[in-house]
Amino acid sequence: MPLILKVEKDPNRSEAVIGQAARLIRQGTVVAFPTETFYGLAALATDHKAVARVYLLKKRALHKSLSILVADLSELDTWIENLSREARHLAASFWPGPLTLVCPAGKRLPTNLTAGTGKIAVRISSHPVAQALVQAVGGPITATSANRSGSPSCRSCEEVLSQLGQDLEAILDAGLTPGGKASTIADVTTWPPKILRIGAIAAQEVLSCWEQKA
């Protein structure tokens, strides 16, 4: 049975619990956590073995890369190479929030995280618990959905348990997440950006914002 860590939606009231989850992640454990849409799986994004564990948990094809969360815009240059002025404008305009940007991956990220593509999908979550978790970890975490590949996304701890069950080590349980549409994904390694998935933010809204800096 996974370790269930109950957390308040206000992270200031759950610092100890979030700190415990962060320590587990730094030690190589995979922890399910709430986001502004569904539950995700957090592993330390710089840990090759922990990233491999995420693929095993999800039964995810190894040619499909994973996305990450960072804590602050100032971290982008640490994990991303040669990010354009327009891409930075998108990040500043929509983060924290459900816009994932596919960017040139930095050399410090493991190749299994990027599936050898040389690209990494990144965002800053607007969920206060997710934000507090990334800050407590002190580095980027994976943000892939907490489900088996091809199965529905999970809005609750119970749904995560029903899909991942005994294979998962810990869950940061903040109750029901909002659900709805997943994040919009835009590949900013092309010009103009290519919308890979239309989600919570309209494609035209993203493209119009890009054009303001083009």
Q: Which CATH superfamily is domain 3-213 in?
A: DHBP synthase (3.90.870.10)
Model confidence at 214: pLDDT above 70: no
| Band (104; pLDDT cuts 50, 70, 90) | very high
Q: Can you give the three-state secondary structure of 128-161, one letter per residue?
A: HHHHHHHHHHCCCEECCECCCCCCCCCCCHHHHH
At 166 the pLDDT is 87
Sketch the domain layout of the chain as residue ranges: 3-213
Residue 206 has pLDDT above 90, yes or no: yes
The identity of residue 44, as a single letter, is L
Mean pLDDT of 85-90: 94
- What distance in Å separates the CA atoms of residue 78 and residue 64, rounded to the nearest whole number? 23
Give pLDDT, residue 209. Answer: 94
- What's CA 186's distance to the chain center, in Å? 14
Average model confidence (pLDDT) across the chain: 94
Tens-place pLDDT, residues 32-79: 999 999 999 999 999 999 999 999 999 999 999 999 999 999 999 999
pLDDT band, residue 108 (cuts 50/70/90) = very high
Taking the C-alpha atoms of residue 38 and residue 124, their distance in angstroms, rounded to an integer, is 14
Whether 42 and 142 have beta carbons less than 8 Å apart is answered as: yes
